Amino acid sequence: MIRIGLTGGIGAGKSTVARTFIAHGAYHIDADEIAREVVAEGTPGLAQLADAFGEDVLDGDGALDRPALAAKAFASEDNRKLLNSITHPLIGARTQELTDAAPEDAIILHDVPLLVEGNMAPFYHLVVMVHADADVRLQRLRDSRGMDADDARRRIAAQASDDQRRAVADVWLDNSGTTDDLAAAALRAWTERLVPFRDNVGAGRAVDPVLPYTADDPDRSILGARVVNRLWALAGAGAQSIEHTGTSSSDGDPDRPILEMTVTVADDAAAGALARPLSVGGFPPVSTVGDGRVHGSADPGRGVRVTVRPA
């Protein structure tokens, strides 16, 4: 099982990618759908919102009046925090419930519009980013959704920048062409990277990178920081420090770099305790070298070697 985070700016074309992945077997979890579900009419979540913000956030039928809630919830920072304190635990619990129900061999597709803004990238095996330039997205929002141009610009400006998205994107799907072009690119990513990654994780198999480093990949120091964050998400308190210590290459090919990472732990018992979470997270064990345990990457598109070493 692997978890894929799918995101992109408003109007970028995430729905086309999601449909392609779902058609080929992805287990879909839609963050927006869950956010609506946990405050639907008759739910404890809706009752909590009414208690916190007043009965006038309900419409005449007893359902949530979203504009009325927004007017109150975003009137101050304290109110926004109050809203999040109610909805976020409910969304998290429902997301976990759906994740737990997924088949053992699933490719879980978590569709999250604000994945970058929420600093959620380290908690996925891969992040798939759908990109289109801001002017293209603006035109699509006006044409397909009838959105006011100023409103569309404000929404685009309020989201993450392209540089912020590129820093966390493992798969970058450019949607500057046609819908068919995007669907074809998504299918290639599914076939060449997501399915092999899932199979490698299931088999506990580390691989050298098959897919080359491309112009869509960020600077390698940014890649190193990304992997450090993922390793922290997997290791948690089990690690004392995690560092990107260098970059080598697969069979001497500079287009297939291998990021060298060092995880320092308290002792050998702590190193052993990390073996399973690292493996499940995409870094299965490879060998033991001296006092260190070496893990590799199960991702065919990203070479990583992790040495877990007692302090």
Rounded to whole angstroms, how far apart are CA atoms 88 and 32?
Answer: 12
Average pLDDT in the chain: 92
Among the residue ranges 24-28, 130-134, 183-187, the one predicted with the least confidence is: 130-134
Do domains 2-203 and 220-310 share one topology? The answer is no
3-state secondary structure of 65: coil
Residue 243 has phi, psi (to 5 degrees) of -135, 145
Highest mean pLDDT (candidates 32-41, 215-224, 285-294): 32-41
Please, which residues have CB within 8 angstroms of residue 261's CB and are 6 or more apart in sequence? Answer: 224, 227, 228, 231, 242, 243, 244, 245, 304, 305, 306, 307
Look at residue 267 in the predicted model and tell me its pLDDT.
94
Structure tokens given for 238: 């089990």
Domain ranges of the chain: 2-203, 220-310
How confident is the model over 226-243, as a mean pLDDT?
A: 96
Is 45 annotated to bind a ligand? Reply is no
**Residue 15 labeled ligand binder:** yes
How far apart are alpha carbons 307 and 224 in whole angstroms?
A: 14
Establish whether 43 is an annotated binding residue.
Answer: no
> Distance between CA 17 and CA 130 in Å, rounded?
8
146 known member of a binding site = no
Q: Considering only the top CATH level, what class is 2-203? A: alpha beta
Write out pLDDT tens, residues 64-118: 999 899 889 888 889 989 999 999 999 999 999 999 999 999 999 999 988 999 9
- Domain topology for 220-310: Beta Polymerase; domain 2 (3.30.460)
Structural contact between residues 245 and 260, judged by C-beta atoms closer than 8 angstroms: yes
- Whether residue 273 is annotated as binding a ligand: the answer is no
Residue 54 is labelled as binding a ligand: no
> Average pLDDT in the 171-183 region?
93
